[in-house]
Chains A and B, each alone.
Chain A
Amino acid sequence: MERTPPFKAGFPRRGTNGGFSGFSGDSSWDEPFQLHSGPSPRQAAGESAACWVPPGETRRVRGWELPGGMLYVGGRLRGLSPWEVADPALINPRLTVHPGRPSWQDEVMDYRGYAAISPASRAAYLEWLAGGRRDPGVGIRYVYLFFYGLERRLLLDAMFLAEAREEVEILIAEIERLRDLYGCYLRFREHAGDLLEIAQAYRKDLEMPERPYGPHCGEVPFRVKLALGRFAQDRRPIPADWAFIWLESDPRTRLRTPAHRCHREFAELFKLRYRQKFRGGLVVRPTRERLTISYRAASPTFPGKFYGEIPNTPDVTWLPEPFEALRELAEEVCRELDVYSRWIARTDDWEGPAAMAVLPGELARSRGDFASQALRTWTERTLCGGETAIVPVRDLVDRWPCATPGKLTRREAEMLASFLGHEGYGLEPDVRFGSPALSATGHAVLFHLPGDGAIRPESSREYLVAVLLVRLATAVARAGDELRSEPERLLAGVLATFRLPDPAERARLGAHLRWLLREKPGLAGVRRRIGALDDAEHRRIARGLLHVTAGDGRVTAGEIRVLAQVCPWLGLPAAGVYSAIHALASAGPQAAEPVTIRSGGDLDPQRVEAMRAATREVAELLDGIFRDGDGDGDGDEDGDGDGETPAGLMGLDPAHSELLRRLSRQSAWDRTAVGELAASLDLMPEGALEVINEAAVATVGGPILEGDDIVEIDPELLSEILT
């Protein structure tokens, strides 16, 4: 409880057009009250202290035991208004009472107090007080008599008396009790409500109003303003509950149908989104505008309207920006609830599985009727803690409220997938993610959606491309002679090609792959979907497809057949497929990654060095062949194997040696002359030339006799041989 009065207060000066009397710095209550003959507020408070019966005390008044206290009992208690001599709430024990005939009828005017009513009415009042102030049949005027006292205590005494301030909570509780008890009197209810609002100013920690204010209360209720002002003053974020109350009670608010039709869902979702959007709450900067109170007291003790200003508490509710933020959020939430709202308007199905499907996931999880719960339980049990499970579509259809029993329309399939999505499960095939529709006779894959369950309603473009790639890749792999491509390998290949940052999409891709392997769909419709992509994506798919299916260069003929079928769809002619596979198969270990166009300037020095080393190696290998061949070539051994005269040139037999010697006399010979020369030595010309040349190649590294019609002799080699 505040130790000092929570506000400065005053009443309008007469004749000042209802303006404030002004709040001077020191005194809580302003001078103008000194204008009339009545007591000053401080004096009045002093008189209160003498008469007040604290809560809980019992006082005996003219034979009635009055329990519970909270009464003014005594001889003198003046009101603040100049024309009111005694406070209407004061019970003067000296006044006469007719106990025998309590008058339960309303005969008092509300501004007249205990002193002004008849003894019989006093008896009725005291009777009511003695009965614990709970007789519901009592006239409301008596309740007002008591209420006047509470009002005085709260507005006047609590301003000056510390002990009065300590009673505030009890007084509030009493007012609430009365309001509940006599709330059927609307005027009283209003009064009580207003006073309760003002009383909040005494509290350090504000309580939420237990009842919503409703949308049309004219202005933002004081309590809300107070709470928001305090949050602003302390630079604290506004909690979601207060933000929602503000939104609801602000007269500027106009909410669309979903907010009214499904108010509960709206409130819940609003608070949820508010926390998400503003990370714990909106922080409003305090303004210079102080928060003020204006209160028309019920008790005639107070002259006119009561005004107050709360020090250190700004009024922020008039600020447009924070309110605008809330209104925008409300609009977003309405939009989120649109489908659900329309659904319940059309079907009056609030908690069925279909209704849960159209409700935002966060709300759906904690709701649902029996059918929804049954579907949840079934899903959980089917997955059984595993990551994925293959289920017959029939099982799902049986658990879903289909319009045509046993047949799931496309829209219903979407809703089913959406329902499962709320529970953190995915379903493949899912039409929303580029898969074909569920076939009633086929199977589907249930899987766990990783992450916080926040599902994006649409798949990323990347995913759409990847899923097509998986589809094509499985078709290609299936066409192979055996399914060499393990699903994991295939998936890893696809994921290496595509960057799917969303784990849910990665899981979905895996599930889709399982579904493809289980159901083995053809390529129907794939071409159309490929056509919807752009050229760059075509190239990516084609490249990914080749890498996944033929990355290791081993491709079976069946796979090639399908590749050659689908690659033209991707803008890659069949011939390009063979080239690409060949390039993959022939690429060395270093060329695992795709080659890009490079000009001479950006050569990879490492690869150049590797290439040089390889070239050096092959050059040595070839050098060995082209030089060492001289020594151990088997041709020459056989060539002169028969003639083994050591005296012959280059190891030739005598006849060939002689032929060479004769030929060496001339640098060029006619072919017929050579024939004759050979015939004279009993040799065949062609064969002889071949033998001699063979020996020459083996010995000096080149044929010595060349030419067809004219046979020429290489003089260099000849001199080498002869020496």
Chain B
Amino acid sequence: MNHFESKSQKIRSRDRDAIIQSLRAGVVPRRGQQHIQVGRVEEVRALVRDLDRLADGGSAFRLIIGEYGSGKTFFLHLVRSIALEKGLVVAGADLSPDRRLHSSGGRARALYAELTAHLATRTKADGGALASVVERFITTALGEARQRDVGVESVIHDRLGKLSEMTGGYDFAEVVAAYWRGHDTADDRLRSDAVRWLRGELSTRTDARKTLGVRTIIDDDNVYDHLKLLARFVRLAGYGGLVICLDELVNLYKLAHTAARHRNYEQILRILNDSLQGSSVGLGFLLGGTPEFLMDPRRGLYSYEALRSRLAESSFAGKGLRDYTGPVIRLANLSPEELYVLLARLRHVYAHGDPDAYLLPDEALSSFMDHCSCRIGEAYFRTPRNTIRAFLELLAVLEQNPGTSWQGLLGDVTVAGDPGPGSVPLVSGDDLPGKAEILRAPADDELATLVL
């Protein structure tokens, strides 16, 4: 029945295991998302265009807005994988009370540190690629130095000359040169200090001057400037550009202090402006947030007038017309049909892409959905995490006990209601069992999904 089976493309064990293990643990898989992506073709296409533009030295800015359980994080991971595949460098982090875009007290620097710690390239998809990026840059410089027969350090300064015009650019070049010096002189301490500086881990200027001889450090005030520098730098190192994925922006919305919230929104506005004006080269931002983060007129992005007008959706959108060029991408919660197709894809992945090895027939999928619907009501497709988990467990049992009838097992499947901040799906059902869950705090496992 399935269209994708007809191609009968075999799914690599690595991808399959990553997908199944992550999903069974209730987190978003870090690879192989392409195998289980359902629908959203226009959204994906829009982001692919963004990434292409980014690789060409353009910029990108997208707000990924979706409810709890609508797959924001999954979508961000998918985009991240695509970006890596396209030779871009990706850095991702979740915002939290201790990691913000703007703050005093080191919280913005903490975000920068988190981002650089999770810097990933295609070959180092799990993060920690900063040193590789720097070394790759230096390696190319090395080759050039050899060809031109000049000192490596001067080649480095030459190549980073463009950066010097930017805020903090000169010191940045100094630090990269220091890294080379550390390597050249086998001074591991100098090298690691340089990396620490680049990662934003140095907390005082004194340390920086003492160890690296530069007057500045990456601080709360210049985080964004350094991200721009980093983006230029990765392009110089031979990558297409830098994609920053920030999730859980709702943490900004939750800031109780109005001025603090506004300063964070100012940063977003700055990022957005730079992106729209094209002044950030090779730098893209993907921000994931919930609808209230966007729309709350008192505390959301809409409370900030300048952002409100820039984020306003096209006046031609609506009534079935969608505009995917605007900065806001909205993700709808899953429908039962989408969940059905998703389960079919999971079955496909589980069978390594071999239709003959399917553990369940088609009717089992809908029976399974019926079962979940009875157990937890509408939540089974709106916040499908637990549904998926239960489905994979069912598949695992069937795989380990060949010959067992799925009908017999179905009754024993337990699926828990999602404890997440499920919102009231007003436009739909009236008799939602989980209406009392609205005010609950977001579940921690959502935060756990973006470990790069």
A residues engaging B (CB < 8 A)?
536, 539, 542-543, 546-547, 551-558, 560-561, 564, 572-589, 591-592, 594-601, 603-604, 607-608, 610-619, 621-623, 625-626, 629, 633-636, 638-639, 641-643, 653, 682-691, 693-694, 696-697, 703, 708
Q: A607-B335, A642-B144 are in contact. Are A703 and B123 (CB under 8 A)?
A: yes
Residue of A nearest to B9 (CB): A623
Check if B295 sits within 8 Å of A611, measured CB to CB.
no
B278 close to A (CB within 8 Å): no
Residue of A nearest to B147 (CB): A642
Of residues 296 through 327 on chain B, the ones whose CB sits less than 8 Å from some CB of chain A are 296-298, 300, 302-303, 308, 312-313, 315, 317-322
Check if A554 sits within 8 Å of B37, measured CB to CB.
no
Check if A629 sits within 8 Å of B86, measured CB to CB.
yes
Q: Which residues of A are found within 8 Å of B131, using beta-carbon distances?
A: 686
Check if B337 sits within 8 Å of A604, measured CB to CB.
yes
A–B Cβ pairs within 8 angstroms, 28 of them? A543-B426, A557-B308, A558-B297, A564-B298, A576-B438, A579-B292, A579-B424, A581-B291, A582-B66, A582-B295, A583-B332, A587-B332, A595-B425, A597-B373, A599-B369, A600-B340, A600-B373, A608-B341, A611-B340, A617-B41, A619-B4, A622-B34, A625-B82, A629-B87, A635-B238, A642-B140, A686-B132, A691-B136
Check if A634 sits within 8 Å of B34, measured CB to CB.
no
B40 close to A (CB within 8 Å): yes
Check if B87 sits within 8 Å of A688, measured CB to CB.
no
Check if A578 sits within 8 Å of B296, measured CB to CB.
yes
B416 close to A (CB within 8 Å): no
Check if A684 sits within 8 Å of B340, measured CB to CB.
no
Check if B48 sits within 8 Å of A591, measured CB to CB.
no
B151 close to A (CB within 8 Å): no
Q: Which residues of B are found within 8 Å of A643, using beta-carbon distances?
A: 143
Q: Which residues of B are found within 8 Å of A690, using beta-carbon distances?
A: 121, 123-124, 129, 132-133, 135-136
Q: A596-B428, A612-B341, A687-B135 are in contact. Are A682 and B123 (CB under 8 A)?
A: no
Q: Which residues of B are found within 8 Å of A618, using beta-carbon distances?
A: 37-41, 44
CA distance A597 to B382 in the complex (A): 10
Q: A554-B315, A584-B427 are in contact. Are A616 and B136 (CB under 8 A)?
A: no
Which residue in A560, A576, A581, A623 is a CB contact (below 8 Å) of B424?
A: A576
B273 close to A (CB within 8 Å): no
Which residue in A581, A607, A629, A634 is a CB contact (below 8 Å) of B295?
A: A581
Which residue in B138, B297, B302, B313 is a CB contact (below 8 Å) of A687?
A: B138
Which residue in B303, B313, B369, B426 is a CB contact (below 8 Å) of A576?
A: B426
Q: A554-B315, A687-B135 are in contact. Are A576 and B320 (CB under 8 A)?
A: no
CA distance A694 to B345 in the complex (A): 30
B17 to chain A, nearest CB (A): 14
Q: Which of B211-219, B360-368, B400-408, B444-452 lies at the binding interface?
A: B360-368
Check if A621 sits within 8 Å of B85, measured CB to CB.
no
CA distance A623 to B319 in the complex (A): 31
A564 to chain B, nearest CB (A): 7
Which residue in B39, B317, B341 is a CB contact (below 8 Å) of A553?
A: B317
Of residues 394 through 423 on chain B, the ones whose CB sits less than 8 Å from some CB of chain A are 421, 423
Given contacts A580-B424, A623-B34, A642-B144, 9 further A-B pairs with CB under 8 A are A557-B302, A588-B320, A588-B332, A595-B428, A597-B428, A601-B366, A638-B239, A690-B124, A690-B133
Check if B44 sits within 8 Å of A580, measured CB to CB.
no
Q: Which residues of A are found within 8 Å of B147, using beta-carbon distances?
A: 642
Interface centre among A557, A594, A643, A693 (most CB of B within 10 A): A557
Residue of B nearest to A570 (CB): B426
Check if A573 sits within 8 Å of B424, measured CB to CB.
yes
Q: Which residues of B are found within 8 Å of A556, using beta-carbon distances?
A: 308, 312
B369 to chain A, nearest CB (A): 2
B165 close to A (CB within 8 Å): no
Check if A554 sits within 8 Å of B313, measured CB to CB.
yes
Residue of B nearest to A633 (CB): B87
Check if A582 sits within 8 Å of B65, measured CB to CB.
yes
Q: Which residues of A are found within 8 Å of B290, using beta-carbon distances?
A: 578
Q: A596-B428, A688-B139 are in contact. Are A583 and B333 (CB under 8 A)?
A: yes
CA distance A594 to B296 in the complex (A): 23
B67 close to A (CB within 8 Å): yes
CA distance A144 to B139 in the complex (A): 148
CA distance A607 to B38 in the complex (A): 13
Residue of A nearest to B65 (CB): A582
Of residues 318 through 352 on chain B, the ones whose CB sits less than 8 Å from some CB of chain A are 318-322, 330-333, 335-338, 340-341, 345
Residue of B nearest to A616 (CB): B3
Q: Which residues of A are found within 8 Å of B128, using beta-carbon distances?
A: 708
CA distance A14 to B425 in the complex (A): 97
CA distance A610 to B319 in the complex (A): 19
CA distance A601 to B365 in the complex (A): 9
Check if A596 sits within 8 Å of B135, measured CB to CB.
no
CA distance A703 to B124 in the complex (A): 8
Q: A599-B373, A687-B136 are in contact. Are A539 and B430 (CB under 8 A)?
A: yes
Check if B39 sits within 8 Å of A615, measured CB to CB.
yes
Q: A554-B315, A621-B41, A641-B238 are in contact. Are A607 and B337 (CB under 8 A)?
A: yes
Chain B, 102-121, contact with A by CB distance < 8 Å: what is the 0/1 string?
A: 00000000000000000001
Interface majority SS (helix, strand, loop, mixed), chain A: helix
Check if A557 sits within 8 Å of B340, measured CB to CB.
no
Check if A611 sits within 8 Å of B4, measured CB to CB.
no
CA distance A714 to B362 in the complex (A): 38
Check if A615 sits within 8 Å of B345, measured CB to CB.
yes
B406 to chain A, nearest CB (A): 14
Which residue in A610, A621, A633, A689 is a CB contact (below 8 Å) of B86?
A: A633
Q: A553-B317, A611-B337, A622-B82 are in contact. Are A573 and B438 (CB under 8 A)?
A: yes
Check if A616 sits within 8 Å of B4, measured CB to CB.
yes
B44 to chain A, nearest CB (A): 5
Q: Which residues of A are found within 8 Å of B34, using beta-carbon distances?
A: 619, 622-623, 625-626
CA distance A368 to B355 in the complex (A): 87
CA distance A615 to B67 in the complex (A): 21
Q: Which residues of A are found within 8 Å of B370, using beta-carbon distances?
A: 599-601
Residue of A nearest to B180 (CB): A684
CA distance A315 to B2 in the complex (A): 85
B429 close to A (CB within 8 Å): yes
A301 to chain B, nearest CB (A): 90
Check if B377 sits within 8 Å of A615, measured CB to CB.
no
B374 close to A (CB within 8 Å): yes
Check if A564 sits within 8 Å of B333, measured CB to CB.
no
CA distance A494 to B290 in the complex (A): 29
5 closest A-B pairs (Cβ-Cβ)?
Answer: A600-B369, A552-B318, A687-B135, A635-B87, A589-B320
Residue of B nearest to A576 (CB): B424
CA distance A555 to B295 in the complex (A): 9
Q: Which residues of A are found within 8 Å of B87, using beta-carbon distances?
A: 629, 633-636
Residue of A nearest to B298 (CB): A561
Q: A604-B337, A607-B335, A623-B34 are in contact. Are A694 and B183 (CB under 8 A)?
A: no
Check if A603 sits within 8 Å of B336, measured CB to CB.
yes
Q: Which residues of A are found within 8 Å of B67, using beta-carbon distances?
A: 579, 582-583
Check if A608 sits within 8 Å of B4, measured CB to CB.
no
CA distance A596 to B439 in the complex (A): 23
CA distance A643 to B438 in the complex (A): 59
A527 to chain B, nearest CB (A): 19
Residue of B nearest to A609 (CB): B337
CA distance A703 to B318 in the complex (A): 44
Q: Which residues of A are found within 8 Å of B427, using beta-carbon distances?
A: 543, 546-547, 580, 583-584, 587, 594-595
CA distance A603 to B365 in the complex (A): 11
Q: Which residues of A are found within 8 Å of B268, using beta-carbon distances?
A: none
B380 to chain A, nearest CB (A): 8
Which residue in B122, B239, B429 is a CB contact (below 8 Å) of A596?
A: B429
Q: Which residues of A are found within 8 Å of B133, using beta-carbon distances?
A: 690
Check if A684 sits within 8 Å of B295, measured CB to CB.
no
Check if B296 sits within 8 Å of A564, measured CB to CB.
yes
Check if B66 sits within 8 Å of A603, measured CB to CB.
no
B31 to chain A, nearest CB (A): 10
B149 close to A (CB within 8 Å): no
Check if A686 sits within 8 Å of B428, measured CB to CB.
no
